[in-house]
Amino acid sequence: MSLTAEDLERFISKIPNYPMELINGEIIIMSPSGLESEEVALEIARLLSNWVRLRKLGRVLGSSAGFILPNETEDVRSPDVSFIRADRLKRTTPDYARVVPDLIFEVKSKTDSIEKLRQKIQVFLELGTQVGVLVDPRTHTMEVYRNGQETIFLRDGDILTVPDVLPGWELTISEIWAPEFD
């Protein structure tokens, strides 16, 4: 039996403390992320949102925002950070959005499989996301994916730009890592 987005909503209402996704008709319960990956994702979202909101360019969302994907099984997936252009989602919704984000970030936590994160990004790219970024706090690196293009690898000292999605926005890689207080 293949489950639907409505089944996922019912399941979440009964067990609200765990993040879940619907993949190929199955509900996948995910563990909460570690502190480091959440702190990095929040910083990316903060920097991106501050820039986007000031210019009224669209919506920046965190890992709890679910998207119903336009694939056969209508998967419900949640990137760690996502951006949707204003012209593609003029009004917010209390439901899962039936739109594929223009830009997504996946931040590797201690228990994440790097290959599964790459696969997740690839699914989004195949369905219309323009840029997917895999962030690894342990190695202080980013992998930038665009459909049909070579992967770009970034590290401290580099600046992420996505002129095809957000002309003028820049993210200094070294600024997103969790601070250390000695």
pLDDT score for 75: 92
pLDDT at residue 21 in the model: 83
What confidence tens digit (pLDDT) does each residue in 27-85 have?
888 877 789 999 999 999 999 999 999 999 999 999 989 999 999 889 999 999 999 99
The model's pTM: 0.93
Which range is least confidently modeled, 110-114, 128-132, 158-162? 110-114
Domain boundary assignment for the chain: 33-175
DSSP letters for the chain: ----HHHHHHHHHHSTTS-EEEETTEEEE-PPPPHHHHHHHHHHHHHHHHHHHHHT-EEEE-TT--EE-SSTT--EE--SEEEEEGGG-SS--SS-BSS--SEEEEE--TT--HHHHHHHHHHHHHTT-SEEEEEETTTTEEEEE-TTSPPEEEETT-EEE-TTTSTT-EEEGGGSSPP---
pLDDT in tens, 74-95: 999 999 999 999 999 999 999 9
What is the per-residue pLDDT across 4-16, written as a single tens digit (0 to 9) for each? 888 888 888 888 8
Among 17-21, 75-79, 130-134, the range scoring the smallest mean pLDDT is 17-21
- pLDDT (tens digit, 9 = 90+) per residue, 137-170? 999 999 999 999 999 999 999 999 999 999 999 9
Q: What is the per-residue pLDDT for 1? A: 66
Question: What's the confidence (pLDDT) of residue 37?
Answer: 95
What is the architecture of the domain spanning 33-175?
Alpha-Beta Complex (3.90)
